[in-house]
Chains A and B, each alone.
Chain A
Amino acid sequence: MSFSVAGEEDFFLEEKKFKQYCEEFIKHSQKIGDGWEWRTSKDFADGYLSKTHFQVTNRNVPPDLKEKNKDNIEQMLFMHVEESLDDSQVDGVCATAEVIRYEYHVLYSNSYQVPVLYFRACFLDGRPLTLDEIWKSVHACYQARLLEGPWDTITQQEHPLLGQPFFVLHPCRTNEFMSSVLITSQKENRCTNYITSWLSIVGPVVGLNLSLSYAKLASEQMLI
């Protein structure tokens, strides 16, 4: 197994393993053109995953669109620009849409020995989103959890390698939820890429989704 087990509930990720999983992740991203790249800091060997994409947000969904999409109203909250829309939908979207540039970084935390998701977001005119706007844009399913303890969940922090303000999804609970994921895959003798599993869980909270093909990557490795 690729993680050190300090106790039954401890599945710490070592930094070397972090880099290996990221490498596999990047390879797959390149295959499917998903836009993730590996960046290194100027003076040290530290590196991180990085991806930028644009999202159209539609906070005030026009009534006619609401009707058409009654069943997937949550998906309307974040729509990728690449999705093709028919003319009637485009009109509706443009009326109340805002384009936001998101930049996501995955760094390794020595202190918690887990990956951490950093991100920043700004409108096309350069205005950065406020913490309030970020909290409001958290996916509807996670709003309840966020409201329980917003200050423990997403806050603004200094990026440890770039020194600039970023928003961060707090890592102190990562070990808890990753333990159950990893215990299950251990039991089922499945190979998992820690980064893929982790990102598929935390990403959607802040509008970052992973293609299902990343899951196939892990099962393909089993055949080796």
Chain B
Amino acid sequence: MISYLTLVTDKVKKHFQKVMRQEEVSEIWFEYEGTPLKWHYPIGLLFDLHASNTALPWSITVHFKNFPEKDLLHCHSKDVIEAHFMACIKEADALKHKSQVINEMQKKDHKQLWMGLQNDKFEQFWAINRKLMEYPPEDSGFRYIPFRIYQAATERPFIQKLFRPIASGGQLHTLGDLLKDVCPSAITPEDGEMKTQVMIHGIEPMLETPIQWLSEHMSYPDNFLHISIIPQPTD
């Protein structure tokens, strides 16, 4: 399961701390080609956004000094990651179900989501997460779709707006409908060419895909669809 940088780099920390003096070690942070990487974004999203046209494994730079206070959130403990992850899950459910599903769950269910993610236990995670993917039989989908659209090098970190998966006539809205509504430049060709790609989890879904389906099947563990608009690769 895709996760967060600071959750999967304990070994990295230990490795470098062996060769560094105590006083030199402060908070770990990561950077790629001069850009500090936001640990609170899922790793897959960071890769799509910054390096999707490069080959794996992704080479990033580790730092232990000069933490960029103006760019990155602090991450002093796993509690911070858990709080962030749970806040995303809660926000997604506020959009999908007016928070009804997440609020009906017990604290131990919330813990199970987090532990499933932390320990990479697919079954454990999905036992609870499947409830967040359900909707009342009388509806055809969620109330609103939890999504964020990212474009590198804009001041605004992401676009997030209210968007219903079902049109008033009952038809399913598509990925193309979503983009036309909240980020038309992503699907508007310039000089007859598409200058950008629309990417989720490293692939370009067809614009005709129903957004409800994408939300149920291609959301990240935090229950959000993280969509990257990136420049077309130049071969």
What is A's interface to B at a CB cutoff of 8 Å? 6, 41-44, 110-112, 128, 130-131, 151-152, 155-165, 170, 172
Contact = CB atoms under 8 A, between A and B. Distances in A.
A164 B74 CA distance: 12
Nearest to A166: B73
Contacts of B99: 172
A160 B158 contact: yes
Nearest to B158: A160
Interface in B61-95: 69-74, 76, 79-80, 82-84, 87, 90-91, 94-95
A131 B40 CA distance: 16
Contacts of A160: 156-158, 160
13 contacts: A110-B162, A111-B160, A128-B69, A151-B79, A151-B83, A155-B80, A155-B84, A158-B73, A164-B71, A165-B69, A165-B71, A172-B94, A172-B99
Nearest to B159: A44
Interface string B11-51: 00000000000000000000000000010100000000000
A156 B67 CA distance: 15
B156 A161 contact: yes
Contacts of A165: 69-74
Q: Considering the complex of A and B, which 8 residue pairs feature the smallest CB-CB distances, nearest first?
A: A163-B157, A151-B83, A111-B91, A111-B94, A156-B73, A165-B73, A110-B162, A111-B95
Interface in B156-207: 156-158, 160-162
B72 to A, nearest CB: 7
A163 B73 CA distance: 10
Contacts of A164: 70-71
B155 interface: yes
Nearest to A41: B156
A163 B156 contact: yes
A155 B69 contact: no
Question: Taking each of A42, A110, A128, A170, which has the highest tally of chain B beta carbons within 10 Å of its own beta carbon?
Answer: A110
User: Secondary structure at chain A's binding surface: helix, strand, loop or mixed?
Assistant: loop
Nearest to A152: B83
Interface centre among B83, B158, B161 (most CB of A within 10 A): B83
Contacts of A41: 155-156
A195 to B, nearest CB: 20
A219 B72 CA distance: 44
Contact of B40 (A112, A151, A158, A162): A158
Nearest to A12: B98
Nearest to B40: A158
Contacts of B94: 111-112, 172
Contacts of B106: none
Contacts of B155: 41-43, 161-163
B75 to A, nearest CB: 9
Contacts of B95: 110-111
B154 interface: yes
A165 B74 CA distance: 9
Nearest to B96: A111
Contacts of A170: 87
Nearest to B163: A110
A39 to B, nearest CB: 12
B83 A155 contact: yes
B99 to A, nearest CB: 7
Contacts of A6: 98
Nearest to B94: A111
A156 B72 CA distance: 10
Contacts of B154: 43
A155 B72 CA distance: 14
A176 B198 CA distance: 38
A162 B99 CA distance: 27
Given A110-B162, A157-B87, A161-B156, 17 more contacts: A41-B156, A44-B156, A111-B91, A111-B94, A128-B69, A131-B74, A131-B76, A155-B83, A156-B74, A158-B38, A158-B40, A160-B156, A162-B156, A164-B71, A165-B69, A165-B71, A170-B87
